[in-house]
Chains A and B, each alone.
Chain A
């Protein structure tokens, strides 16, 4: 509170009369429109415009895409599903979607199991050196894939996993585990010790405690970690680009950049349709779990 008194001392002479300033609910409507709604609308338009453009291009017939004098490019006359059907029925897109889903789900599953065990051990078993291990895991979070992909390419090749989705399934957890472990550590800390103590007295083993007491109570944490992991896998680009070379094994982000882009303007519709369809699963998933997602994002940073 000394902060506030300092302010008041420095100020007491000048603006005492203007007490309404700073209290948003006392703001007049015109002022609120100018200081809040206008900038907010502007920012939201800029943030959303690329999606509008993506959707618009995906349903626009080709002749309207390249003719900007007779058609206003901001709107579409007679939308078409040609690009999307071309994508789904005349390209390998379904195959890429399947690859992405399969890799993401498996990697998320592996990471969740490993993270739950690691987080439980660090927070509740408190083995010697648990603090250090927790710190190391946080450091692992700060190691970016951009400096790991070259040595990993060599390792993946020497294990004979090159061009195999299994390489991604094994490598993605390195991105997911540090994050999920930190998130889950936060959740586990909030579960009262007494519950575990009772179970210990009743003769439960540590594994039983974990599966029957801790996990049911940490479901929100598991959902957050799971969604965040799925998003990260779906997003991942550099490893998938490096380790996968054949078209049928690619994931959606890589396939769109490498297989649809050949400088031909007529591909724009399909390209945008591909980007749209590739984003939809995440947007749908996220719209159901937005609260968990936000708590995952902010909670992990707050740690």
Chain B
């Protein structure tokens, strides 16, 4: 308590201190009010309402009746829903791990003593700055079935003889989306990890190198342990945002072909907003919550634990 309380005590004596103390909570309330009002009204309340809607048969423009677990019951027999659960997990797992690998590699590259460091860093960030939907459209055009530049180049190089149907074939479309997601996510991971790398003192590497540590040992025993806390945070965010991705899929495939690329978020949009059955869509969104919590727990505590073990080794 080195803040204003102490000052008030020395300056104004007992009564001022008490007045300030009673004011403090009151003032805090007024200062918090605008943020709290917005967050409660448009974040906490909808979160609860979403769970409630998932137990009703609400349609757009018509409040629903409580129907218990019917929505979930119905979803549990719906192969499209399970397909979307599978693809959401697959998409998150593959995209996040590759994003992490490439992001870390790029961060290590950028951390070297290079000319034009600032310029390189700004260029790397561009995919992160440009609106996702707009870059997704560029990818859509790159992956076009008739005019794809990739197909054209591969044909010219003589590697394939027919144009690839990138977004028309389920697995091709899935990999294209994962690629676009990685492309967009790498800059965030790389720049954040780079910030972490820059806090590692070079003298550690020098000492280790003099002691004969190889490049890999430098990374494994100095860089990685020191970077673990920031990796935990970055990967938690990365997993979270990949799992709940919407824009990329909606701009590139809208869940097609034959529902192969629906994420849970796009499926709930299709059912709730386009199909009009809010209740069912809300059930799909609510079903995301346990997955999200699990993903956060795994990436957060998993990495925290490793950090703790590392600390244990040291003692």
Contact = CB atoms under 8 A, between A and B. Distances in A.
B237 interface: yes
Contacts of A177: 35, 38-39
Nearest to A157: B61
B225 interface: yes
A217 to B, nearest CB: 16
B31 A54 contact: no
Contacts of B207: 1, 4
Given A146-B246, A297-B191, A36 B38 contact: no
A88 interface: no
B278 A154 contact: yes
Interface residues of A, number: 117
Interface in B110-160: 110, 112-114, 118, 120-127, 129-135, 137-139, 141-142, 146-147, 149, 152
A294 B125 CA distance: 9
Contacts of A246: none
Interface string A141-169: 01111111111111101000000000000
A148 B131 contact: no
Contact of B53 (A46, A151, A254, A293): A151
B234 interface: yes
A147 B278 contact: no
Contacts of B183: 46-47, 50
Contact of A200 (B4, B217, B218, B296): B4
Contacts of B121: 290, 294
Interface in A185-237: 193, 196-197, 200-201, 206, 231, 234-235, 237
Contact of A65 (B2, B147, B237): B147
B11 A201 contact: yes
Interface string A173-185: 1100110010000
Nearest to B50: A151
A51 B28 contact: no
A136 B215 CA distance: 42
Given A8-B211, A47-B187, A51-B138, A22 B205 contact: yes
B109 A39 contact: yes
A121 B28 contact: yes
A262 interface: no
Contact of B240 (A39, A144, A170, A293): A144
Interface string B80-116: 0000000000000000000000100110011011100
Interface in A256-303: 256-257, 265, 268, 271-272, 274-276, 278-279, 282-283, 286-287, 290, 293-294, 297-298, 301-302
Contacts of A274: 134
B137 A301 contact: no
Nearest to B6: A197
13 contacts: A3-B222, A11-B217, A40-B114, A43-B102, A47-B123, A53-B138, A146-B265, A147-B292, A148-B285, A150-B278, A151-B50, A237-B251, A265-B146
Interface of B: 2-4, 7-8, 11, 24-25, 27-29, 31-36, 38-39, 42-47, 49-50, 53, 58, 60-61, 102, 105-106, 109-110, 112-114, 118, 120-127, 129-135, 137-139, 141-142, 146-147, 149, 152, 183, 186-188, 191-192, 194-196, 204-215, 217-218, 221-222, 225, 230, 233-234, 237, 240-241, 243-247, 250-251, 264-265, 268-269, 272-273, 278, 281-282, 285-286, 288-289, 292, 296, 314
Interface of A: 1-8, 11-12, 14-16, 18-19, 21-25, 36, 39-40, 43-44, 46-51, 53-54, 57, 65-66, 68, 73-74, 110, 113-115, 117-118, 120-122, 124-128, 130, 133, 137, 140, 142-155, 157, 170-171, 173-174, 177-178, 181, 193, 196-197, 200-201, 206, 231, 234-235, 237-238, 241-242, 252-254, 256-257, 265, 268, 271-272, 274-276, 278-279, 282-283, 286-287, 290, 293-294, 297-298, 301-302
| Minimum-distance CB pairs A-B, first 8 | A127-B28, A8-B211, A121-B31, A298-B195, A144-B244, A146-B265, A118-B35, A275-B134
